[in-house]
């Protein structure tokens, strides 16, 4: 039986479905329906949380996790950035002082002095309003994940995670080292096919010595920080650090499908729990604020990058299949060299043709790649639930859809790995 890997794309609308799908896999494994657990899991963004529950190996933990999701509130995992709080407090006190002054001024008996004083207060009021706007756009971010960090450190069973037979890798993106120049692309045109050489990737695992051989508390915090780094939605959440360096943000800023982490570990059978996300498809929705518009822009960028990733791998698989056919055809041409009806000059021409064709095939950018078998798990359209405006009903609907998608995938997974 072959080992297989699981890739879990991110974005908040997939949180509920991942919880349900992974619970379904755990249930199927415990009841003998699923032949084996994945040997390796790689995640994007928020997917690291349900993946960590799965790696713990306890179905009870899945049940507890789903209950927490159904009662989840934004205040449970995000808070206002401390710098924004501080600046807002100063602005509030300044405004309060102006209002108090205006109130006292209005009580003056001399109406001329009263109106003149109120008029004079207009300019400082304008400057305070101007400062408030500047303060909003000068902080690192609006929100921070301090509450999520505390929640995860309290609820995750780290000994189970680090003693698990399932490897898990939590990627994130370093903004300082990511990206390409034209020269980089032209020097190595097979950018996509060369195992994603983009230097922006960083990750934390439950199996590498540098992530495991640490003091227990440091190990646990490093794991949580690595996971949180992968879900730092740019513009909403402040950036993080990896090994005390860089500005680390959401995995989806490069790819919401970090399949290459599984490929680098040697896996050729990969299951992707993608589902169908309403948030990433055409939709009829009235956007009431710039925050909602920003989230929508993020979703369609993720959708387009995901499309390119999926089609890229499928095209490589297709090209490898065609290359195999070319090699078989070349073998039949080579058999002509043993024909008694072919003169020496003709045989020389055939040999030259074979050499030239082999040289061309060796230079194909996909020539040394491995065929990767994929199972892309779909679903009914999951709710358009963002972390800014989700409901418990949406979360429940997503969990149920994920459960069905997970259970439906079990026979296909078994067929893949046998």
Say if residue 263 is in the same domain as residue 218: yes
Cβ atoms of residues 199 and 177 within 8 Å: yes
Say if residue 278 is in the same domain as residue 188: yes
Nearest Cα residue to 375 out of 13, 47, 21:
21
Q: Is 147 contained in some domain?
A: yes
**Which of 111, 138, 165 delimits the end of a domain?**
138
Structural domain including 52 reads 5-79+143-282+372-417
The 8-class DSSP code of residue 121 comes to T
Say if residue 154 is in the same domain as residue 239: yes
**Which of 97, 118, 138 delimits the end of a domain?**
138
Say if residue 130 is in the same domain as residue 229: no
Say if residue 21 is in the same domain as residue 157: yes
Say if residue 112 is in the same domain as residue 98: yes
Q: Is 110 contained in some domain?
A: yes
Nearest Cα residue to 56 out of 72, 41, 71, 45:
41
Say if residue 62 is in the same domain as residue 158: yes
**Which of 97, 122, 138 delimits the end of a domain?**
138
Domain count, the chain: 2
Buried b (16+ CB within 10 A) or exposed e, 139-152: bebbbbbbebbebb
Say if residue 147 is in the same domain as residue 53: yes
E strands, 197-283, in order:
201-205, 240-242, 245-249, 269-273, 276-277
Say if residue 55 is in the same domain as residue 163: yes
List per-residue pLDDT tens for the chain, 418 residues long.
789 999 999 999 999 999 999 999 999 999 999 999 999 999 999 999 999 999 999 999 999 999 999 998 888 777 776 666 666 566 565 665 655 555 555 554 555 655 555 555 566 666 666 666 666 666 666 677 888 999 999 999 999 999 999 999 999 999 999 888 887 777 765 544 444 567 889 999 999 999 999 999 999 999 999 999 999 987 788 888 999 988 999 999 888 999 999 998 999 999 999 999 888 888 887 888 877 888 888 889 899 989 988 988 898 889 989 999 999 998 988 888 888 888 888 888 889 998 999 898 888 878 778 889 999 999 999 998 887 788 999 999 999 999 999 999 999 999 999 8
Q: Is 324 contained in some domain?
A: no
The predicted model scores a pTM of 0.84
């Amino acid at each position: 039986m072959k080992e297989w890997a699981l890739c879990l794309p991110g974005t908040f609308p997939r949180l509920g479905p991942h919880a349900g799908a992974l619970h379904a896999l755990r249930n199927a494994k415990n009841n003998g329906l699923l032949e084996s657990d994945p040997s390796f899991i790689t995640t994007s963004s928020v997917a690291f949380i349900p993946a960590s529950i799965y790696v713990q190996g306890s179905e009870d933990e899945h049940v507890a996790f789903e209950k927490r999701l159904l009662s989840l509130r934004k205040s449970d995992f995000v808070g206002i950035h401390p710098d924004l709080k501080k600046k807002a407090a100063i602005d509030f006190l300044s405004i309060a002082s102006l209002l108090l002054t205006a109130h006292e001024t209005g009580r003056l008996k001399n109406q001329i002095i009263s109106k003149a004083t109120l008029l004079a207060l207009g300019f400082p009021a304008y400057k305070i309003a101007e400062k408030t706007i500047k303060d909003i756009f000068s902080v690192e971010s609006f929100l921070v994940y301090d509450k999520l960090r505390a929640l995860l450190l309290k609820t995750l069973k780290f000994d189970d995670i680090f003693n698990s037979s399932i490897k898990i890798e939590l990627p994130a993106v370093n903004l300082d080292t990511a990206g390409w120049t034209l020269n980089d692309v032209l020097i190595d045109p097979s950018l996509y096919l060369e195992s994603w050489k983009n230097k922006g990737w960083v990750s934390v695992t439950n199996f590498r010595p540098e992530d495991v051989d640490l003091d227990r508390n440091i190990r646990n915090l490093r794991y949580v920080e690595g996971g949180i780094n992968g879900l730092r939605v740019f513009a909403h959440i402040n950036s993080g650090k990896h090994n005390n360096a860089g500005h680390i943000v959401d995995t989806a800023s490069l790819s919401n499908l970090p399949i290459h982490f599984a490929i680098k570990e040697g896996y050729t059978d990969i299951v992707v729990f993608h589902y169908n996300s309403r948030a990433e498809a055409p939709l009829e929705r009235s956007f009431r604020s710039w925050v909602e518009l920003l989230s929508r822009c993020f979703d369609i960028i993720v959708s387009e990058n995901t499309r390119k990733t999926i089609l890229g791998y499928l095209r490589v698989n297709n090209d490898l299949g065609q290359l195999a056919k070319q090699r078989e055809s070349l073998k039949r041409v080579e058999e002509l060299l043993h024909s008694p009806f072919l003169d020496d000059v003709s045989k020389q021409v055939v040999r030259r043709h074979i050499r030239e064709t082999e040289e061309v095939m060796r230079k194909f950018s996909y020539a040394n790649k491995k065929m990767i078998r994929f199972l892309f798990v779909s679903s009914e359209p999951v709710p358009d639930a963002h972390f800014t405006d989700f409901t418990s009903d949406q979360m429940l609907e997503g969990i149920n859809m994920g459960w069905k998608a997970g259970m439906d995938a079990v026979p296909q997974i078994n067929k893949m790995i046998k």
